[in-house]
Amino acid sequence: DVKVTQSSRYLVKRTGEKVFLECVQDMDHENMFWYRQDPGLGLRLIYFSYDVKMKEKGDIPEGYSVSREKKERFSLILESASTNQTSMYLCASGLASQGGYEQYFGPGTRLTVT
Amino acid sequence: GDSVTQMEGPVTLSEEAFLTINCTYTATGYPSLFWYVQYPGEGLQLLLKATKADDKGSNKGFEATYRKETTSFHLEKGSVQVSDSAVYFCALSDLWENNRLAFGKGNQVVVIP
């Protein structure tokens, strides 16, 4: 079974802090993704990566950056956390298969910025 | 760009009732279509998928048929259980859009005993 793990299930940070969210996958997938999930807005893509050291902006990259130094690990960084970044953050990994492009999700990190 | 539209609002129904959640899509290429489910406190899990027109995806009693003529991928289950209470997301991936997944906003399903 594919396993995607995230470093924390719950996190509370103060405004202005630098926040790191870590994601690790164990299936040698090339592609990894960070989403945030908010009520009424569904899932929105923040950043994604097709390979080590590569990154692409998603739909809402402002206020975030990412790092992918190893294939299995994809980090989301909030340079200076703000209260409007309080959200559920979901990491996913995947590859393009002949049967369609599936993504596998971690359990999520619920971040609260006070 | 590609997009997915799900019916508005939560769905509340009784155990053993028939469930339908509507999903329509807009895509420039030849998308693959997915339904994901999110149980309380968990991440998303792939429920079923279909990769070409007229394909039917099925899993755990749920079914959805890829209808190109109506650009739809409606989710159905004949007899729901309390354990089916979750949020359901329709999604598509399209090679022309770099294989990104586009998600609908999700539907909360509540099954009452």
Could you read off the pLDDT of B32-90 as tens digits, one per residue? 999 999 998 888 999 999 988 999 999 999 999 999 999 999 999 999 999 999 999 99
pLDDT of residue B24: 97
Does B51 contact A100 at a Cβ distance shorter than 8 Å? yes
Q: How far from A87 is each of A111, B87, B93, B98, B109, CA to CA, in Å?
A: 6, 17, 24, 26, 21
Please list every residue in chain B whose beta carbon sits closer than 8 Å to the beta carbon of residue A58.
100
Q: Are B75 and B19 in contact (CB under 8 A)?
A: yes
Does B42 contact A107 at a Cβ distance shorter than 8 Å? yes
pLDDT of residue B99: 62
pLDDT of residue B98: 60
Distance between CA atoms of residues B11 and B87, nearest Å: 10
Give yes or no for residue B25 having a pLDDT over 90.
yes
Q: What is the DSSP letter of B7?
A: -
pLDDT of residue B95: 64
pLDDT of residue B100: 75
Q: Are B2 and B61 in contact (CB under 8 A)?
A: no
pLDDT of residue B23: 97
Distance between CA atoms of residues A24 and B62, nearest Å: 30
Gap from A16 CA to chain B (nearest CA, Å):
27
* Higher-pLDDT residue of B19, A27: B19
Q: Are B107 and B87 in contact (CB under 8 A)?
A: yes
Give yes or no for residue A99 having a pLDDT over 60.
no
pLDDT band at B93 (very low <50, low <70, confident <90, very high): confident
| In the block, residue with structure tokens 């999604």 | B91
pLDDT of residue A94: 87
Strand runs labelled E in chain A: 4-6, 10-13, 19-25, 31-38, 42-49, 56-57, 64-70, 73-78, 87-97, 100-105, 109-113
* pLDDT tens for each residue of A18-71: 999 999 999 888 889 999 999 888 899 999 998 898 899 999 999 999 999 999
In a mutational test of the A interface, the residue from B39, B44, B47 whose CB has the highest number of chain A CBs within 10 Å is: B44
